[in-house]
Amino acid sequence: MRWCKFIKFIFMVVLSTTIFTVTVHKAPYAHLKKLVNNSMVEHLFHEEPCACMERCLAASDDEWFTKRFRKDVPPVLALNNSDLPNHIFKWWQSLQSKSKANYSEVIKDLFSVIPGEERYRDTGPSRCRTCAVVGNSGNLLGSYYGPVIDNHDFVFRMNKAPVQGYEKDVGSRTTHRIMYPESATHLDNSTHLVLLPFKILDIQWITSALTDGSIKRTRFKVIDKLQATRDKVMVMHPVFMHYVHNTWLHIRSRRSYPSTGFLVLIFAMHICDEVNVFGFGANSKGTWHHYFENTPKRFKRTGKHSGGIERETILELQERKLIDLYTGW
């Protein structure tokens, strides 16, 4: 028994001495590991940023990435973060149509209907959240990506993109559907709705669509009463949209703003630890079209979106192994 106490005493002396000298060693964790092979001590000095084996996006030390990725930008609106700096408010108002509505009152009405707490700020060493961002490209047809997509924790889909009839290629699960009023579709009780607000009227619409259905038209006629679970509804933050526009795409023109697909990709990178991307870009023949079109319409114009810059950025993310881009067939 005395020998046990003596050995324990010696161990504590060595450990305390090592901890004391941590401040003067350039590699304190490596120095300690040589002396004490103890998993608890290792955890104390080297806490992993997430529990994923492949990558932890938010902890990447890639210089190109860290210049762009800002952890402090809130992805979704909440009661405690809804204030907008004046320059961002003006940018946001310029995207589609200005409104005379009182923004503060609109936000107050919104959070009387949907939850007002912050979401998805729970990153840490015990979390490994894998996410699939599923675009609408025709390159999904014949890909048999369905099971791969469904194997993610979160599956993001956009606008009205259908699943039924395409399961083998696009999967069957949808945890989050991102939409704006003009692209809205009814949801089941298990799916989260993420609204992309391109104008104040869009936020007014989601409040109305979940209550009295008084707003029946935005840019054109829209769903007045939307089937969706209120507790699973959230609104992408205009500050986040501005950050994607300025920081990720370096666009200064007020006549251009990020596409839905690109916004969702960066959104996923902020709330997930691993991100895999499906259904972006052209098919193997160079044709750009939607997988659900019976008679595919070829398109290359990207309207007010900087498609070329977005594509280059996505390819750069892939090249740096920050995301995996599944290009289909």
Q: And the tokens for 123?
A: 């990153």
Banded model confidence at residue 295, pLDDT cuts 50, 70, 90: low
Residues in the chain: 329
pLDDT of residue 254: 56
Q: In what order do the strands lie in the sheet with 274-278?
A: 233-235, 192-195, 176-179, 154-158, 130-134, 274-278, 324-326
Burial class (CB in 10 A: 0-12, 13-18, 19+), 43: exposed
Q: Which residue has the higher pLDDT, 308 or 197?
A: 197
Provide the b/e sequence for 5-25 (b: ≥16 CB within 10 Å): eeeeeeeeeeeeebeeeeeee
- Termini Cα distance of the chain: 70
Burial class (CB in 10 A: 0-12, 13-18, 19+), 65: middle
Burial class (CB in 10 A: 0-12, 13-18, 19+), 117: exposed
Q: And the tokens for 56?
A: 């932890």
Q: Which residue has the higher pLDDT, 153 or 5?
A: 153
pTM of the model: 0.82
Q: Worst-scoring range by mean pLDDT, 191-195, 279-283, 292-296?
A: 292-296
Q: And the tokens for 295?
A: 């008679």
- Model pLDDT for residues 148-177, shown as the tens digit of each residue: 999 999 999 999 999 999 999 999 999 999
Q: And the tokens for 4?
A: 């046990």
- Model pLDDT for residues 129-147, shown as the tens digit of each residue: 999 999 999 999 999 999 9
pLDDT of residue 253: 53
The CB density around residue 246, as the number of other CB atoms within 10 Å, is 13
Q: And the tokens for 66?
A: 């860290």
- Model pLDDT for residues 17-37, shown as the tens digit of each residue: 333 333 333 333 233 233 333
Beta-bridged to residue 97, according to DSSP, are none
The CB density around residue 296, as the number of other CB atoms within 10 Å, is 15
- Model pLDDT for residues 86-104, shown as the tens digit of each residue: 999 999 999 988 888 999 9
Averaged pLDDT for residues 263-282: 96
Residue 141 in contact with residue 329, Cβ under 8 Å? Answer: yes
pLDDT of residue 121: 86
- Cα–Cα distance for residue pair 104/106, rounded to 1 Å: 5
Averaged pLDDT for residues 54-65: 92
Please check the confidence at residue 303 and state whether its pLDDT lies above 60: no
- What is the residue-wise DSSP string for 271-289? H-SEEEEES-S--TTS---
User: Distance from CA of residue 121 to its chain's centroid?
Assistant: 11
Banded model confidence at residue 298, pLDDT cuts 50, 70, 90: low
pLDDT of residue 215: 97
The percent helix, strand, coil of the chain (3-state, each to 5) is 40, 10, 50
> In the chain, pLDDT over 70 holds for what percent of residues?
80
Averaged pLDDT for residues 196-225: 97
Domain boundaries along the sequence of the chain: 2-45, 57-326
57-326 under CATH 3.30.310.220, yes or no = no
The CB density around residue 159, as the number of other CB atoms within 10 Å, is 17
Indicate the SS3 state at residue 44: helix
Please check the confidence at residue 59 and state whether its pLDDT lies above 50: yes
pLDDT of residue 53: 87
Q: Report CA dihedral (87, 65, 127, 163) to the nearest 10 degrees.
A: 80
- Model pLDDT for residues 236-258, shown as the tens digit of each residue: 999 999 999 999 998 655 557 89
Residues that are catalytic? 257, 305
